[in-house]
A and B are shown apart, each in its own frame.
Chain A
Amino acid sequence: MIATSAAPVRGPTRPSPLWTRAFHGFNLLLLLLMASSGLEIYNANPVFGGREGATVPELFTLGGWLAGGRDWHFGVMGLYAANLGVWIGLLIRQRHQRLAAMGDLGTLRVSSSTPKRRLAAHRVVYTLMLIVLGFSLITGMAMYKPAQLWWLVGLFSFAEAAGHDSWQVLRVCHLATIPLIALLLGAHVVLSWRVGGLRLWRSMFV
């Protein structure tokens, strides 16, 4: 399915399974909506600096104002969670083929074959992306319903001894998923290009 050698592979493109392409494309679209509306919400009271803090340029935000940003963020969250949850569930069932495992870390440590190392690195990167997205769901849930899900908020009270309220820890953790995903996305794009080139991209999007 994925070209593991650096040599170009001839012949017609074999598309990835429909469910992979659907979950992947839908996740990308929903993630853009969630991130941009989330930054709109951020601007109402920046996590760093509060009311005097620096805001995100309007170019990267969605909603126009706080209520509009919340309309999108909480309007899309259900679809985003369902898409991500079902996708991760399906991937775990097929872990031996798709998600990174200990073997990939071993390959990265000992293999001298560049294509093999690239493939392993790519599997590690996209698996990390799914973990970060799952983390964005957990931190988001805790901030959406902090009173009802008080036990979930409690998991983030580890820095209270150092004077950091669990709410601020949650806000930082939830926001941190955006730069983390942006970094991993960069690595994902570069590595998928190196691993499978345009053929791989077409197999995911066409």
Chain B
Amino acid sequence: MATPADPLSRRRSLGLLLGGAPSLLLGGCALNAHSEAVGAATQPLNERIEALLQGKGKLPEFRPRQVDPAALLINSFNGIPEISPGSYRLAVTGLVSRPLNLDLAALAALPQHQCVIRHVCVEGWSAIVAWSGPRLADVVALAGFSPLAGYVFIESADQYYESWDLASALHPQTLLATHMNGAPLPAANGAPVRLATPIKLGYKLSKWVTGLKLMASLGDRRGYWEDQGYEWFAGL
């Protein structure tokens, strides 16, 4: 109960409330400027924990009947590039003993795998999709990558770029998908070749992939969205 002998108490507490609310709001606006600093201070630890949490084995998948094509939204930072299947080549370069220039027939000749997984967008939505194509691990193994390689830089036809840690790239469910939900990949979803995996957020899953470069360290260009403030590891 309020103490009746102390008439200031109620007034003072009201004043505190009224004075406190705007300063919180003002503080909120000022805090926006510190977002990057908070991220920079905490992401290295978060990313270490994410990498530790991520196993090397296969994760459980969904049933094909759980696929929901309508849930998969289209995101692109620079439109949809048109790539003719005949002239398409995937360049595998960097720390490899045999630099490759693979056409679609060469990718189709590799063992084909299907993953029915949840595609999770950083925006918050998700969609269960069935991706199929060769494993990224099989493609880089074909090029014979050096033990010095720790990262893969991924280039796309629309100038999108990404970089991954090698362990995530070699994960058995990380695919260079050429098919989606049993049909050839549509142009808007990254035809003819895109990345697909259950272990990374959607912005790591480059569409229209044209180049894989194995690197010993991360460069200044870590990814289109990462360079604007998104987390680099982005594990799920």
Tell yes or no: A75 within 8 A of B by CB.
Answer: yes
**How many Cβ-Cβ contacts under 8 Å join chain A to chain B?**
121
Cβ-defined contact, B53 with A145, below 8 A = yes
B55: A residues at CB distance < 8 A: 148
Segment at the B interface, from A41-49, A102-110, A122-130, A177-185:
A41-49
B126: A residues at CB distance < 8 A: 146, 165, 167
Q: Which residue of B lies closest to A51 (CB)?
A: B73
A59: B residues at CB distance < 8 A: 25, 28
Q: Roughly how many angstroms separate A95 CA and B195 CA in the complex, as a whole number? A: 52
Min distance, Cβ A166 to any Cβ of chain B, angstroms = 9
Sorting the interface of chain A by its residue count into under 10, 10 to 19, 20 to 34 or 35 or more gives: 35 or more
Min distance, Cβ B191 to any Cβ of chain A, angstroms = 23
Min distance, Cβ A33 to any Cβ of chain B, angstroms = 8
Segment at the A interface, from B38-46, B135-143, B212-220:
B38-46
Q: Roughly how many angstroms separate A7 CA and B68 CA in the complex, as a whole number? A: 63
Tell yes or no: A62 within 8 A of B by CB.
Answer: yes
B5: A residues at CB distance < 8 A: 8
**Contacts of A46-91 to chain B: CB distance below 8 A:** 47, 50-51, 59, 61-72, 74-76, 78
- 30 residue pairs of the A-B complex, CB under 8 angstroms, read A8-B1, A45-B123, A47-B124, A51-B73, A62-B28, A62-B35, A63-B32, A63-B35, A64-B32, A67-B229, A68-B39, A68-B229, A70-B231, A71-B36, A71-B38, A71-B229, A74-B231, A75-B41, A78-B45, A145-B235, A146-B118, A146-B126, A147-B59, A147-B199, A147-B236, A165-B68, A197-B1, A198-B6, A198-B13, A199-B3
Given contacts A70-B230, A71-B35, A71-B39, 8 further A-B contacts (CB under 8 A): A45-B123, A63-B32, A74-B43, A74-B231, A150-B59, A165-B68, A167-B118, A197-B1
